[in-house]
Amino acid sequence: MIFTVAIDGPAAAGKGTIARAVAKRFGFGHLDTGLLYRAVGAKGGDPVAAARGLGETDLARDDLRTLAAGQAASRVAVIPEVREALVAFQRSFARREGGAVLDGRDIGTVICPEAEVKLYVTASPEVRAHRRWLEVGGDEGEVLAEVKERDRRDAERAVAPLKPAVDAVVLDTSAMSVEAAVAAALAEVEACLGAG
């Protein structure tokens, strides 16, 4: 069975949690595409060469989840040649046998517009910054500024900017518990699988 669930949205909206829950529930493969950009940013040197030569060890680094790695990822993600170098891998993952969940910024709009389910998971910047702050600590005001800066860069870039696909189901998790957000996403996938 070929079945793709595309989950897009801004930083710290809950995409990763939802993607992992969907993958587990339905036995689909999961690709966190943000990790690809984080690995390119963390590698240093020429980002285009880093993207073209990205390998397993680059993705296994343990420093890819930091705020700094997120900023570096967002900066290399504006480079069209970096994005191009990562397209084929993401597309083949999306259409792999057995089903796939991909979370990122442009999965439903660019990587897999034919995805059977498209979710756009969002929340207010304040709520997202608070969640990120609970994970990373530090100064909450700084985390909020970082979230807003990344939102702006991801949404304003010329190539594959962050925006909901026209046919995406928008899930605003600002006032939702994790359990409720996961349940809503599972219900969308269930409905689509049932209808197929």
Q: Residues interacting with ligand DC, by CB under 6 A?
A: 11, 33-34, 37-38, 70, 73-74, 77, 104-106, 150, 154
Find out whether 150 and 71 touch, Cβ atoms under 8 Å: yes
Nearest residue (CB) to ligand DC, 149 versus 187:
149
Residue 146 C-beta: closest distance to ligand DC, Å: 10
One DSSP character per residue, 24-53 reads: HHHT-EEEETHHHHHHHHHH-S-HHHHHHT
Nearest residue (CB) to ligand DC, 38 versus 189:
38
Burial 107-140 (b: 16+ CB within 10 A, else e): bbbbbbeebbbbbbbbbebebbbbbbbeeeeeee
The SS3 of residue 121 is: strand
The residue ranges of DSSP E strands in the chain, in sequence order, are 4-8, 29-32, 100-104, 117-122, 169-172
Residue 12 C-beta: closest distance to ligand DC, Å: 7
Residue 196 C-beta: closest distance to ligand DC, Å: 25
Residue 86 C-beta: closest distance to ligand DC, Å: 8
Nearest residue (CB) to ligand DC, 58 versus 154:
154
Check the CA dihedral 154-152-163-6 and report its sign.
positive
Nearest residue (CB) to ligand DC, 159 versus 169:
159
Residue 194 C-beta: closest distance to ligand DC, Å: 28
Nearest residue (CB) to ligand DC, 87 versus 191:
87
